């Protein structure tokens, strides 16, 4: 848990949070002229010695992206945090800059770390103090000090911190339960500080096993929504709808929705905007990729895959009894080249052939197996399998 530091400028009243854009006034409302400017400092100068890996833990990759980028993304979601200051060592300054650029983080300032964690936090606070001539940051009223290696927290956790920062002056009582940071804030920044209890989610990535856990948690989170893009040629009660039913049964913790693309694709774009990272695309009556190609085009145009790999499973229904399966696979084999192409945009494309048998029992078994394969592809998000043509 991280302490909040209350700045020298005393705040007035804290109102319930309003949702709005980054940098919007905190708690501003018609009846309250008061606003609370909140900033965050992320000390990220650690060298990760407990991790047992060469890379400092904040730069270790989780789902292909440095851990600190996941933490920044979580902070960016909180619209009332105005500025974020990341404190890194000189040697990691360029790495950090390229992370900010590649993953399109906004409103981040970089400050060089000190010799100790304390000095680093102090440098971060100084940058926010606004008493340096070159400083473009406005002076906040509350500063949240947040570990770069704690990517999991709820807005409520931070809200508690900010509330405590408003309510508490500097008391000896609080300090008895405090951490090193609290003492630092008190001693050097002429600031008030208090320790606030966090939720169990607010854990810190410390050991290598925590990286495994972080990756699994993130994979689970982004696999909570699956969108089935139906084939326009498809009639009700056809294969796509059958698969939807089976998927809903197999994945009962996942929100499975289906959509028939409208002429301008705006309904698909809406789903992309809602950050759905898993798509199952039906190509029912043909062996070509028309439907999948359209979807991939829209995904490539969007920014969706900047933060997480997007999985697209291109599903093809074929009756295995109408001639050898291998012949039908021939025309689908070029999914391999296609997959290599979209991989550049962090989209993982796989093909899946489902036996559209006339035998009801065989069809159900094939649908069920298809659902299991889809679930695995979405859950694992493993790029080693891109371009493969799987058979259910």
DSSP 8-class letter at 94: H
Which stretch, 104-112, 163-171, 200-208, 294-302, contacts a copy of itself (CB under 8 A)? 200-208
Q: What ranges in the chain are assigned the alpha helix state H?
A: 67-76, 93-102, 117-129, 155-167, 172-176, 180-188, 208-222, 239-250, 266-273, 290-301, 325-332, 335-343, 360-380
Q: Which two tokens stand for residue 46?
A: 């650690």
Shortest gap between Cβ of 61 and a copy of itself (angstroms)? 14
200 binds a copy of itself (CB under 8 A): yes
Comparison of 271 and 389: residue with beta carbon closer to a copy of itself: 389
Q: How far is the CB of 153 from a copy of itself (least distance, A)?
A: 14
Total length of the chain: 392
From the CB of 372, what's the least distance to a copy of itself, in Å? 5
User: Both tokens of residue 125?
Assistant: 């606070």
Q: For residues 371-390, which are near a copy of itself according to CB under 8 A?
A: 372-373, 375-377, 380, 382, 384-385, 388-390
Instruction: Tell me how many degrees the CA angle 275-276-282 measures, rounded to the nearest 5.
Output: 145
How far, in Å, are 39, 43, 45, 78, 92 from residue 162 at the CA level? 10, 18, 24, 12, 30
Contact residue for a copy of itself among 110, 129, 213, 260 (CB under 8 A): 213
Residue 129 binds a copy of itself, judged by CB under 8 A: no
In this structure, how many other beta carbons lie within 10 angstroms of the beta carbon of residue 302? 15
**Cα separation values, 180 from 4, 116, 275, Å:** 13, 12, 38
325 binds a copy of itself, rule: CB under 8 A: yes
> Shortest Cβ distance from residue 13 to a copy of itself (Å)?
36
Q: Which residue has the tokens 């919007």?
A: 24
For residue 141, give both structure tokens: 């009223």
Quote the least distance from Cβ 330 to a copy of itself, whole Å. Answer: 4
Among 12, 132, 216, 245, binds a copy of itself (CB under 8 A): 216
Spatial separation of the C-alpha atoms in residues 12 and 35, rounded to whole Å: 8
Interacting residue with a copy of itself among 290, 327, 341, 359 (CB under 8 A) = 327
Contacts (CB under 8 A) with a copy of itself, residues 339-378: 372-373, 375-377
- Applying CB under 8 A, the span of 179-187, 231-239, 277-285, 327-335 interacting with a copy of itself comes to 327-335
Q: Does 324 bind a copy of itself (CB under 8 A)?
A: yes
Using CB under 8 A as the binding rule, whether residue 326 contacts a copy of itself is answered as yes
Only one of the segments 91-99, 116-124, 178-186, 213-221 lies at the binding site for a copy of itself (rule: CB under 8 A); that segment is 213-221
CA distance 237 to 256: 17
Beta-carbon neighbour count of residue 199 at 10 Å? 13
Binding to a copy of itself by residue 204, rule CB under 8 A? no
Using CB under 8 A, which residues numbered 35 to 54 contact a copy of itself?
50
Q: Which residues bind a copy of itself (CB under 8 A)?
A: 50, 200, 203, 207, 209-210, 212-217, 324-327, 329-330, 333, 336, 372-373, 375-377, 380, 382, 384-385, 388-391
């Amino acid at each position: 848990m991280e302490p909040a530091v209350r700045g020298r400028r005393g705040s007035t009243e804290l109102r319930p949070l309003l949702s709005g854009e980054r940098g919007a006034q905190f708690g501003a409302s018609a009846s309250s002229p008061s606003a609370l400017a909140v900033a965050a400092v992320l000390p990220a100068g650690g060298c990760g010695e407990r991790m047992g890996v060469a890379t400092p833990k904040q730069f270790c990759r989780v789902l292909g992206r440095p851990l600190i980028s996941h933490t920044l993304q979580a902070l960016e979601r909180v619209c009332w945090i105005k500025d974020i200051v990341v404190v890194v060592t000189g040697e990691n300054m360029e790495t950090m800059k390229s992370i900010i650029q590649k993953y399109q983080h906004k409103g981040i300032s970089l400050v060089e770390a000190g010799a100790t964690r304390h000095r680093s936090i102090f440098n971060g606070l100084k940058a926010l103090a606004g008493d340096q001539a070159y400083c473009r940051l406005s002076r906040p009223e509350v500063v949240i000090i947040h570990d770069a290696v704690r990517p999991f927290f709820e807005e409520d956790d931070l809200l508690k911190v900010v509330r405590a920062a408003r309510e508490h002056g500097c008391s000896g009582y609080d300090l008895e339960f405090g951490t090193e940071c609290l003492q630092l804030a008190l001693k050097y920044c002429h600031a008030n500080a208090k320790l606030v209890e966090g939720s169990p989610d607010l854990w810190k990535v410390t050991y290598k096993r925590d990286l495994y856990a972080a990756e699994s948690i993130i994979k689970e989170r982004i696999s909570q929504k699956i969108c089935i893009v139906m084939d326009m040629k498809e009639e009700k009660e056809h294969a796509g709808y059958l698969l939807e039913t089976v998927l809903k049964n197999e994945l009962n913790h996942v929100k499975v929705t289906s959509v028939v693309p409208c002429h301008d694709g705006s309904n698909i774009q809406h789903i992309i905007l809602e950050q759905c990272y898993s798509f199952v695309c039906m190509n029912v009556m043909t062996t070509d990729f028309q439907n999948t190609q359209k979807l991939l085009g829209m995904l490539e145009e969007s920014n969706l895959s900047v933060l997480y790999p997007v999985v697209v499973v291109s599903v093809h229904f074929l009756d295995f009894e109408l001639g050898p399966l291998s012949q039908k696979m021939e025309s689908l084999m070029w999914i391999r080249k296609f997959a290599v192409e979209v991989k550049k945009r962090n989209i993982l494309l796989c093909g899946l052939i489902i036996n559209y048998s006339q035998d009801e029992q065989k069809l159900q078994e094939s649908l069920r197996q298809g659902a299991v394969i889809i679930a695995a592809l979405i859950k694992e998000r493993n790029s080693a399998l891109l371009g493969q043509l799987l058979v259910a």
